[in-house]
Amino acid sequence: MADQKLITAEKRKRFESEALPHMDALLRTALRMTKNERDAEDLVQEAFVKAYRFWDKFEPGSNCRAWLFKIMTNIFINNYRSKSRSPMAVNVDEIDDNFLYGQLSTGGQSPTPEQELFAKIFDDDVKKAIENLPDDFRMVVVLSFLEGFSYQEIAEIADLQLGTVKSRLHRGRKLLQKELFEYAVKNGYIKDKAQ
C-alpha cells in the first residue's frame, strides 16, 4: 500500500513538472479549434485527464508537448468535430499562392512570412480569419504558424500523412491570404497594386 502511494506521488510529480507547463499552449490551440472558451477549457481538461491516466505510456525524454497535442487533437477529432458546421466550399485555385506574403512590408526579420504576419497583425480580425478556416485547415495552420510544430510533428499529432499536412497547410495559407488581403491593405501591411 505504501509502495502504491509512493508510485502515485512520483507519477503526479513527474506529470506536473513535464506536462503542466504546456497547458497555456494547449489552451490557445484548443480555443482556435473549438472557437469557444468553455469548450476549449473542457477539451484541455479532458486531454490532461487522459494524459494523466496514460502517463505510464509516455516515453520519458520524448516530446511531451507533441504527445499532449496529439491527445488533445484526437479528442477534438473524435468528440468536437462532429458538432461543428459543415466544411465550407472554397475554390482554392482562385487564390494567388504568394501574393500576400510577397507584399509584406519588411519589418523585423522572422523565420517565416506567416510568423511575421501574425506577429504584426494578430488581433480580432486575424483571429476571426483563423476561426473561419475549415477545421482540417485550421488545425494544421494553428499547429504550424502559432505553435511552431514541424510538418512531421503535425503529421504525428493529427495522425495524417506528411503529404496531407503539406497540402492542408498550403490550402490553409491560401485561404488566409484571401481572407486577410483587405485587412492587410487597410492597415498598411501591403499596398494594393490597383492604387
Task: Identify the band that residue 145 occupies on the pLDDT scale cut at 50, 70 and 90.
Answer: confident
Task: Identify the band that residue 22 occupies on the pLDDT scale cut at 50, 70 and 90.
Answer: very high
- Amino acid 61: pLDDT: 85
What's 21-54 look like in SS3?
HHHHHHHHHHHHHHCCHHHHHHHHHHHHHHHHHC
27 pLDDT above the threshold of 90: yes
Do residue 72 and residue 134 come from a single domain?
A: no
Q: Which residue has the cell 510538418?
A: 151
**Over residues 81-98, mean pLDDT:** 47
- Amino acid 151: pLDDT: 92
Do residue 74 and residue 15 come from a single domain?
A: yes
CB neighbourhood size of 110 (10 A): 14
Task: Identify the band that residue 109 occupies on the pLDDT scale cut at 50, 70 and 90.
Answer: very low
Residue 193: inside a domain, yes or no? Answer: no
Residue 177: inside a domain, yes or no? Answer: yes
Domain that holds residue 99: 92-186
Q: Which of 54-58, 67-71, 143-147, 191-195 has the lowest mean pLDDT?
A: 191-195
Give the residue among 136, 120, 124 at the shortest CA–CA distance from 175. 136
Do residue 151 and residue 176 come from a single domain?
A: yes
- Amino acid 103: pLDDT: 42
**Over residues 162-173, mean pLDDT:** 92
Do residue 98 and residue 17 come from a single domain?
A: no
Do residue 77 and residue 150 come from a single domain?
A: no
Q: Which of 21-35, 64-78, 85-99, 121-135 has the lowest mean pLDDT?
A: 85-99
